[in-house]
Structures are given as C-alpha cells and as structure tokens.
Amino acid sequence: MSKADSVRAIRWEADQLLLLDQRRLPQEELILRLGDYREVVAAIRNMAVRGAPAIGVTAAYAMALAAREAAPYPDWRERLRGGAEQIKAARPTAVNLAWAVDRQWTLAEQMGAGADVATTLLQAAHDLLEDDIAANRQMGAFGASLMPDGGVLTHCNTGSLATGGFGTALGVIRAAVAAGKALRVYADETRPWLQGARLTAWELQKDGIPFSLNVDGAAAALMQQGLIQAVIVGADRIAANGDAANKIGTYALAVLAHYHGIPFYVAAPLSTVDFAMAHGAGIVIEERPPEEVTHCAGLAVAPAGVQVRNPAFDVTPAALISAIITERGVARPSFAASLRELRGA
Ligand SMILES: CSC[C@H]1O[C@H](OP(=O)(O)O)[C@H](O)[C@@H]1O
C-alpha cells in the first residue's frame, strides 16, 4: 500500500486538472478529470477538493483553465476577470483561495495581448503546487521537535489531501515520526463532514502511523485521562495578531487544552496569514448546507424540517495558541511581531 505522504490529491495530466474526489474516500479513490474552470468551482464548493492550501492550488489551476478559454477573444481580460470572481466566490473563509486567484490575476494583467497567458498561468500553478509541498516539508522540519513522545490530538484533515502534498499539521506529525518520536495520534472524527474519520484515518493508516479515531466529544475526556500531550491543527485564515480560523470545533479544543495545560499548536504556511486583517473578528465564517448536519452518508439522522446551524469554521483567539508553525520558522507570542518577522517585512 503506497504511503499517504506521497499522495497527490491535485495533478495536471493531458491538459486536464485531476482531482482525487475526497467525497468518495475512504471507500473509493475516484479521480475527477476537469477541463472547464466552472467544473473546478463546483468541485471546490462541493468539497471534492478541500483544505485551505489545496483549494488555493486548485484555484490557481482553475485560473489557467479560465485563461485558456478566454485566450481567443479580444476581451480576454474581462472574461478572465469574470472567471476569477466565480472562482473566488467558491468558498469564503480560506484566504489561500482568494490569494491564489489574485496572484494569478496580477500575473495575467501585466501581460500584453497575444501573450500566452494560459501557458504562463499554468506554469505558475505548477510552481505553486511544488512550492506548497516544499513549504509543508519545511514546516515539518521546524515543528517536529515540538511534538511529544505521547498522545497528539488532531482535528479535521491537514495532510496530503488538504494541501499540495505531505500536509501541514499532519506533515509536522509525519516529520516527528520520521525523526523517531514515539507518538500516537488521537484523530477527531470531525463532524459533520468527517474529514478526520474519512480522510485523516485513511492517511495515517496508509502511513502506518499509530492512531485511534474518536468522536469529537471525547477530546475532553482523553485530555482529562492524561492521554493527550499536545494538540496540533491546521488553519484556513490567520489574522495578523494570530487569531486563527479553522474547522468548527477547533476553538473548543483550544479552550480544553488551555484548561488542561496542554500545548496547542497551529501549523500553516505564511500564505494562510492574512496580514491585512488585524484580528479574527473580521474573518468570514462559511455556513454550509443543513443537509451536512441532518444527513450522514445520505441517511437522514434528524427529523425533516429541523432548523440547522452549520458554521464550517470557528476562530481561536491568539491567546489560546502556544505557537504557529510556518515554513519559515515557529512564531511565538506576540504573534503580530513574530509573524511579520517571519514574513520578512
Ligand atoms: C491544511 S489546512 C486544512 C483545513 O481545511 C479544513 O477545512 P475544509 O475541510 O472545510 O476545507 C480544515 O479547516 C483544516 O484544518
């Protein structure tokens, strides 16, 4: 069985974007082959591909597809601009999505008529994919020493499936295991979309990393029993002061870790830091369809017609975060200064 650290959920082949459809895992490894940016927008919105860095890379490829479609037209810039707006609107919380689209747009806008914009944007998307994998491996190198010989609790999925490859928080765990840490992962199932049960468990099993799967509500008891020596999570958007938006349930884990005196780490590339956003109160939290809560694997688990709240993310205050592990080093409080220093500004 091939290891998950080498899994590539996003690939380009024969002029098409290939996405491993994460809605079908772990039962089926189905590949979507997409040639139209509108199909990619749907794949991001429907979470066939998900995870902040992964949707950023995917958005970059969507821009290349939009540029290829617009290329024959004199008004290619307007057409590409329209595509960019549709791609950015796919999901609101992860900054990586808008960051990647804006980066591609800036590249295209500078090019003259007749320049091969599509080829340039495609190469930029390839570069972004490889840069993301390299950043994850650097993050792993910086974060490995912070991992304990003991229990590490994770939430959602932050591995190869959430990124270009290797992973952010799960990449730190992979690097720690490779460095000889005797750790055991406690993976939250992560209701309602079950990224932990379906995706993280799939990755850890393929890697042969010791783990157990638990319902989200068990995290407090596991900490109370002394089984957890660290919590490590990813992020979808980090404000300049270190407040971090991540999968719903993360804030609860941070409060629990604080109460139990357990270090709480966030692992994310600097592209996830929104330096233009002073603090987390301004982060838009995606509200997802009620069916994600009222149904499980297509089966209704709630009465028809119930009212549902389904925020996909929450914001953890910087005060509850022990360190933010990035590809350029580990940021410690005060995060505003240390994140800026790592950026090099
Ligand atoms: C490596 S960041 C992954 C991040 O994205 C997840 O959200 P979603 O599965 O809805 O895209 C979750 O917040 C993870 O921490």
Domains of the chain in sequence order:
3-136 (1.20.120.420), 142-343 (3.40.50.10470)
Give the Cα separation of 133 and 151 in Å (integer): 26
**pLDDT of amino acid 115:** 78
Residue 308, burial from CB neighbour count under 10 angstroms (0-12, 13-18, 19+): middle
**pLDDT of amino acid 2:** 59
**pLDDT of amino acid 345:** 55
* Residue pair 49/22 in contact by the 8 Å Cβ criterion: yes
- Nearest protein CA to atom 12 of ligand 1, as residue: 247
Tokens matching residue 89: 């609107």
| Ligand 1 center–CA 51 separation, angstroms | 4
Over residues 41-49, mean pLDDT = 98
Residue 154 near ligand 1, beta carbon < 6 Å: no
Instruction: Report the catalytic residues.
Output: 236
Residue 188: closest CA among 143, 275, 249? 249
pTM for this predicted structure: 0.96
Residue 312 near ligand 1, beta carbon < 6 Å: yes
Amino acid letter, residue 37:
Y
Q: How many residues make up the chain in this entry?
A: 345
Percentage of residues of the chain with pLDDT beyond 90 = 95
Residue 53 near ligand 1, beta carbon < 6 Å: yes
- Nearest protein CA to atom 7 of ligand 1, as residue: 51
- The string of pLDDT tens digits covering residues 288-298 is 999 999 999 88
Residue 64: closest CA among 31, 91, 100, 30? 100
Mutate to test the pocket of ligand 1, among 10, 25, 45, 156 (most ligand atoms within 8 A of CB): 156
pLDDT band at 113 (very low <50, low <70, confident <90, very high): confident
Tokens matching residue 130: 């490889």
Residue 198 near ligand 1, beta carbon < 6 Å: no
What is the Cα 328 distance to its own chain's centre? 18
Mutate to test the pocket of ligand 1, among 158, 189, 283, 315 (most ligand atoms within 8 A of CB): 158
pLDDT band at 4 (very low <50, low <70, confident <90, very high): low
- Nearest protein CA to atom 15 of ligand 1, as residue: 234
Residue 168 near ligand 1, beta carbon < 6 Å: yes
pLDDT band at 112 (very low <50, low <70, confident <90, very high): confident
Give the Cα separation of 107 and 95 in Å (integer): 18
Residue 51 near ligand 1, beta carbon < 6 Å: yes
* Residue pair 340/268 in contact by the 8 Å Cβ criterion: no
Residue 271 near ligand 1, beta carbon < 6 Å: no
User: Does 1 have pLDDT greater than 90?
Assistant: no
> Is the complex ipTM more than 0.90?
yes
- Nearest protein CA to atom 8 of ligand 1, as residue: 51
β-strand pairing of 230-233 with 151-154: parallel
| Ligand 1 center–CA 109 separation, angstroms | 30
Residue 246 near ligand 1, beta carbon < 6 Å: yes
Mean pLDDT of the chain: 96
Mutate to test the pocket of ligand 1, among 155, 236, 251 (most ligand atoms within 8 A of CB): 236
**pLDDT of amino acid 5:** 67
Half-sphere exposure in the Cβ direction for 193 (13 Å, CA): 27
Q: How far apart are the first and last CA of the chain?
A: 44
Residue 163 near ligand 1, beta carbon < 6 Å: yes
Tokens matching residue 100: 């990647």
- The string of pLDDT tens digits covering residues 236-255 is 999 999 999 999 999 999 99
Over residues 7-30, mean pLDDT = 96
- The string of pLDDT tens digits covering residues 149-197 is 999 999 999 999 999 999 999 999 999 999 999 999 999 999 999 999 9
